[in-house]
Chains A and B, each alone.
Chain A
Amino acid sequence: MLDYITSYLSSNTTPGQAGNVFWALVYIMVVFGGVSVAVMAMNWLERKALAHFQIRLGPMRVGPHGLLQPIADAIKLLTKEDIVPSEADKFVFWLAPLIILCASFTVYIVVPFGPTHAITDLNIGILFMLGVSSLSVLGVVMAGWASNSHYPLIGALRSSAQMISYEVAMGLAVVSAILMTSLNATGTGTLSMIGIVQAQQSQQMWFLFKFFPLGFIAFGIFAIAMVAETNRAPFDLPEAESELTAGFHTEYSGLRWSLFMLGEYAAMIAVSSIAVTLWVGGWMRPFPNWLTGETWDLVFSLIPGFLFLGLAFIAFIGVARMPKHPYFRVQTIGLAGFGAVLGLIGLVLFAPPVRDRIQDIFWFCAKVAVFMYLYIWYRATFPRYRFDQLMRVGWKVLLPVSIGVLILTAIMGVLF
């Protein structure tokens, strides 16, 4: 038994490929738990960042700087009354949030956090991600229909129309990136997520900069389409509050509503990780070609530790700036403890074996985090599109441009 567990550590592949059930389960639990924590952190960060964009304070009451707000929200949602409309189709109403949740969590099976840090490496990886994430449309349609109410139905219709139309442009942009993987010496491309990053490694270039404007345009199309795909601002028509209250999940409350929320944020992280894998070099650290050599490797491998130490430092500044009133004593101690944990994590990350193992995961997550911040930034700065504008952008701008990029990429691939 112990042999079975330790034998994987020397195998240097993903647990799925090694066929090791134990480590596959460990990876699944770590990834799913990590995603759930990331969703909670994202929830807090979004409210906080949006508030600061609008010169407000945001959540401040629950815990220092509202750090415990997501937990409080979760408890509130769990204990809320669960209402099913009397005229609703009970079974479909019950099934819809589960489908969305399953669809957005299943895709993490192939997300490559590092050359060996993925649950498994399917050779249809990117196809699997696109396919399974496209199943969440079903959940949206079902939720809208089963609620048996006007707002959810219109919201679901809008949402599914939007998701289907942007999927086309998104798929074509992805294809042009996949074409680029076939340009290394072997001449055969790959659909595997790990293979795509390795192709960028062997071509010594992020696909973002490949054939200069082409990779950039394809990435731009994907970056727009992925916002529309996840129904986020400025494409959040399905949930346009002023017109449709909350869109397809108007009739949902309590735990089921929180499942929708969890699914939405998990889908955002999943789509961002597709963008990171395809164009921004996946787990590779910045400048692997310019800044080579032992020293630079060491410098970049120390960054995760320093980042956590920096976060701990910020937490301690927060402790120093806390009001000295006895009322805030618990919060101050809590924040100091949080800072101490962050600092401890930072110190652990400096240890050489951990440092080497964690590096690729860190860079992948850092790149995804940039995309997540962009989502918040879009929401704070762009006004919402009108529905016909949305459709026009999708079909008359993004689709032709992505077809053009695909053809040009193919031509460039043959020529060079």
Chain B
Amino acid sequence: MQPVATTFFFYFLSGITVLSGILVITRNNAVHSALALILGLLAQAGLYLMLYAPFVAGVQIILYAGGIMVLFLFVIMLVNLERAQKEEQFNKQWLVGLLAAVALGGLLFAVYVKGGTLFTEHIAQPVENSNTQQIGVMLYGNYMFAFEIASLLLLVAIIGAVVMAKKRI
């Protein structure tokens, strides 16, 4: 089965991502920013689906939209929003911001101009059906060591959080 209206969905999802990204930084209310961020993450999951990576899309929804963002909202809800709303939204570090934006924009422009030669043009169409299996084989076969190190890091972070939160263990 051929994918339906691929170009349309690409621009649609990318548009949502960019728009919600702008909303995240311009909203006064922190909860609204968090909601816009969730929308952006969901649109990103849609983009992963278009790249024939359904597993990554599913994990993106479970972890980011369903897990991390709920914790974000949780914390924001407990913060005193009225005081936060009165604070200045943009700080005065426009020079650093401008430099970073120019650097990133230059990189994107370079990729856009020279992208045709930088990357291999013809990429073998990945099989959607075995995406999950391939990720499993990669994680637990080829990149076993890196994967274990990453999980060890997370474990250390959890222990650190418990130690900081509890005076008497």
Contacts and interface: CB of A to CB of B under 8 A. Distances in A.
Interface stretch (B16-24, B66-74, B99-107, B146-154): B66-74
Contacts of A132: 61
A157 B74 contact: yes
B62 interface: yes
Given A123-B128, A188-B133, A191-B132, A138 B54 contact: no
A142 interface: yes
B43 interface: no
Interface residues of A, number: 32
A164 B69 contact: no
A308 interface: no
A123 B38 contact: no
A135 B133 contact: no
A138 B38 contact: yes
A91 B29 CA distance: 12
Contact of B59 (A127, A144, A167): A127
A23 B129 CA distance: 23
A164 B31 contact: no
Contact of B65 (A17, A123, A135, A142): A135
B66, B69, B131: residue with the most chain A Cβ atoms closer than 10 Å: B66
A205 interface: no
Contacts of A122: 54
B1 A19 contact: yes
A124 B70 CA distance: 23
Nearest to A144: B77
A196 to B, nearest CB: 13
A128 B35 contact: no
B73 A92 contact: no
A164 B71 CA distance: 9
B58 A127 contact: yes
A17 B1 contact: yes
B55 interface: yes
Given A123-B128, A141-B77, A145-B31, A164 B70 contact: yes
Interface in A127-148: 127-128, 130-132, 134-135, 137-138, 141-142, 144-145
Nearest to A129: B58
A126 to B, nearest CB: 9
Interface in B29-77: 29, 31-32, 35, 38, 54-55, 57-59, 61-62, 65-67, 69-71, 73-74, 77
Contact of A134 (B54, B62, B71, B132): B62
Given A19-B2, A124-B132, A127-B62, 7 more contacts: A123-B54, A124-B58, A128-B58, A131-B66, A134-B62, A142-B35, A188-B133
Interface of A: 17-19, 89, 91-92, 95, 122-124, 127-128, 130-132, 134-135, 137-138, 141-142, 144-145, 153, 156-157, 160, 164, 167, 188-189, 191
Interface of B: 1-2, 29, 31-32, 35, 38, 54-55, 57-59, 61-62, 65-67, 69-71, 73-74, 77, 128-129, 131-133
12 contacts: A17-B1, A89-B31, A92-B31, A127-B59, A132-B61, A134-B62, A137-B66, A144-B77, A145-B31, A153-B77, A156-B77, A157-B77
